[in-house]
Structure 1
Amino acid sequence: MFREHRPSGMEFTSLVESAGWQGIAEKGPAVLEEALSNSWYTITAVHDGRVIGMGRIISDGVLQALICDLIILPDYQGSSVGSGILKRLLARCAERDIPLVQLFAAADKAGFYKKFGFEERPAGAPGMRWVNRDLI
């Protein structure tokens, strides 16, 4: 069911659309495939030959890793697919002794990540981001 495999641009687009990330989906399969090709590690969940979920890591491979795009098709959410992907992403980081793994979670998903030991950043050291609103 789980494969160390990079989904195609079309498969990634389908997953992104299922998550409601229209600004990303509008980039199109070719751009999304390029994004995937720049990932450090990617894993997919496959059922009956169809990609039903994925997660990927962007990393320097030594000190830091950022988990991105943990997406599960709605029909498969709550069936341990996301847990299976996250466990494998974290195991890959542990294999390489990467000490700092980060992610950005939607507010309603924070509890899911806390079950795996993730902690919210303290108010005195908040995570920050810059978004080019012209591009998304």
Structure 2
Amino acid sequence: MSDSEETRTDPYAIRKRLPEPETFARLREAAGMTPRSFEGIERGLPHSLYGVVAVHEPTDEVVGMGRIVGDDGTVYHISDMAVHPDHQRQGLGTRIMEHLEAYVEETAPPNAYVNLLADVDGFYEQFGYEETRPASKGMYRRTE
């Protein structure tokens, strides 16, 4: 191998795109996340502001994802962060978040509200996120 050839030891690549609806549903299920209807997935994904996928290059399989939804001005919601359990503990969640954070830093105007619902303690804090209580509280409801 010549000096100009690069040795690649990292089998993962982060690509700026959204997952296919089937992949989105599969990753959410594998990660133990609440399922979404396929109709909702198909309707919702195209309305994302930005998304990335983690690809296991030897198999070309999408093994992780994250996206941002919102109005691209006042509110940015980090959503659908998932890494397949077989590929966790490889730093993929961190790499996905770094790409999402870079999008926000490059595009969000001053005082934009960036939020997320965390289901992993201690992960999002490294990116500057903090609990909203007591100033506010997160709430939700699901449609039937």
What range is the shorter-chain TM-score in? 0.7 to 0.9
**How does the TM-score come out when normalised to structure 1?**
0.86
Give deviations 1:20-43, integer Å, cap 9, x for gaps.
Answer: 23532xx23x54232211111111
Whichever residue aligns with residue 15 of structure 2, its letter is: R
- Tell me how far 1:75 sits from its aligned partner: 1.4
Say if 2:71 is the partner of 1:60.
Answer: yes
Structure showing greater radius of gyration is 2
Number of aligned positions between the proteins: 128
RMSD: 1.5
Is 1:126 the counterpart of 2:137 in the alignment?
A: yes
Alignment of 1:24-63 (within 5 A): 24=36, 27-28=37-38, 31-48=40-57, 49-63=60-74
- Given the alignment of the two structures, is residue 23 of structure 1 paired with residue 59 of structure 2, yes or no? no
AA aligned to 1:40 is L
Secondary structure class of the residue paired with 1:115: helix
User: Kindly, what percent of the aligned residue pairs are identical?
Assistant: 34
What's the TM-score, normalizing by structure 2?
A: 0.81
Q: What SS does structure 2 have at the residue aligned with 1:46?
A: strand
Query: Which residue of structure 2 lines up, in the alignment, with residue 105 of structure 1?
Result: 118
Q: Which runs of 5+ in 2 are unaligned?
A: 1-12
Structure 1 spans left out of the alignment, 5+ residues: none
**Distance of 2:43 and 2:122 partners within structure 1:** 31
- Structure number with higher helix proportion: 1
Structure 1: which 4+ aligned runs deviate by more than 4 Å?
Answer: none
SS in 2 for 1:23: coil
